[in-house]
A = this chain, B = another copy of it.
Amino acid sequence: MNRKTPQSSQTESAEPTSLLKRHAHSVETYLRDALKRQAQAPKKLIEAIDYSLMAGGKRLRPSLVLECAVACGGEINPSALAAAGAIELIHTFSLVHDDLPAMDDDDLRRGRPTNHKVFGEAMAILAGDAMVSLAFELIATDAEPAVAPKLIAELAHATGPQGMIGGQVLDMEGEKKSLGFEELQELHRMKTGALLRSACRLGALSTNTSELQLLALTDFGRFLGLAFQIVDDLLDVTASPQQMGKATGKDAAKGKNTYPVLLGIEETKVQAQMQLYAALASLKPLGRHADGLKRIARFVVERQA
């Protein structure tokens, strides 16, 4: 009875969406303020950034940052908040550039026309570029100077040639050939996995965490990242465009390498559950502080969109 109750459990039911909503609200407030601080920037550019950044995503990555800080027994301090805002900027930039005609050429994202459809291709490229720069500026400016370099090195590594952007290159190159299971896992480890794993590490690094906790959350993030991508592949086959707010069935049409293509739908569902169990098992060293994270992990695998 004397154990400190984890912050996330004080006001939450077992329902993960209220936890996600609370974290989403924190990061959206922070990001809205961050855009307001760009008072010298051309209005149209901020409008283009705001259009995609405030399009109402699930805010999964920033929520993981904040909840991992909580799981380490820490507070949601300015460093965690800056890292959360920064990773959402990086995620949003990747969507805006991914949707470009030269890349996936998508017209619809989160139920609305894609950025370049509204603002033109040049502005969409520049808005994406600006989001990357702004992400690192926010951490450098708003995080504790003692942890800022670690947070930036972590996020940049997950973003760059050996992370998400490298994964997009593998994905692009992979469209021309069929990949084996190992190659597909490597592609996903970089393309979506790197940023989800990094979200968990950023949360840990924003607190004075132990090496044990950092390793536990790194494992958690790695398994969760794979689970997320497997479910994403599944939803592209099983969900409707209305549910997803974007075109579906595109992976198969483009000959993309996905889990359902490689393993079939039933075996893919088994794989998702296996990654979920591994993710939950990784949280053991964190005890009850990780209750919120467990709920988020189950939500990731059981989501319908």
Interface residues of A (CB under 8 A from B): 38-42, 44-46, 49, 93, 97, 100-103, 120-123, 125-126, 128-130, 132-134, 136-137, 139-141, 143, 145-146, 148-150, 152-153, 156-157, 159-162, 165-166, 168-170, 172-173
Give the number of times this chain occurs in the complex, counting copies: 2
The 8 nearest A-B residue pairs measured at CB: A137-B156, A41-B161, A102-B121, A133-B160, A140-B152, A140-B153, A136-B136, A148-B149
- The reply to whether B44 and A169 contact each other, CB–CB distance below 8 Å, is yes
- Cα–Cα, bound, A42→B30 (Å): 35
Chain B residue at smallest Cβ distance from A156:
B137
- Cα–Cα, bound, A49→B129 (Å): 16
- The reply to whether B129 and A103 contact each other, CB–CB distance below 8 Å, is no
Contacts of A173 in B (CB 8 A): 42, 44
Contacts of A148 in B (CB 8 A): 140, 148-149, 152
- The reply to whether B162 and A40 contact each other, CB–CB distance below 8 Å, is yes
- The reply to whether B161 and A49 contact each other, CB–CB distance below 8 Å, is yes
- The reply to whether B172 and A160 contact each other, CB–CB distance below 8 Å, is no
Contacts of A169 in B (CB 8 A): 42, 44-45, 123, 126
Shortest distance in angstroms between A46's beta carbon and chain B's nearest beta carbon? 6
Q: Given A134-B160, A152-B136, A156-B134, do A170 and B103 touch, yes or no (CB 8 Å)?
A: no
- The reply to whether B161 and A134 contact each other, CB–CB distance below 8 Å, is yes
- The reply to whether A129 and B44 contact each other, CB–CB distance below 8 Å, is no
A-B contact pairs, 24 of them (CB 8 A): A38-B160, A39-B162, A40-B162, A41-B161, A42-B161, A44-B169, A44-B173, A45-B161, A45-B165, A46-B161, A100-B102, A100-B125, A102-B120, A103-B122, A126-B165, A126-B172, A130-B160, A130-B165, A134-B156, A134-B161, A140-B148, A140-B149, A140-B156, A149-B152
Contacts of A160 in B (CB 8 A): 38, 41, 130, 133-134, 137
Name 19 extra pairs, CB < 8 A, besides A140-B152, A145-B149.
A38-B162, A41-B161, A44-B169, A44-B173, A45-B166, A97-B125, A100-B102, A103-B122, A103-B125, A123-B169, A126-B169, A129-B165, A133-B156, A133-B161, A137-B157, A140-B156, A143-B149, A145-B146, A148-B148
- Cα–Cα, bound, A120→B172 (Å): 12
Chain B residue at smallest Cβ distance from A144:
B149
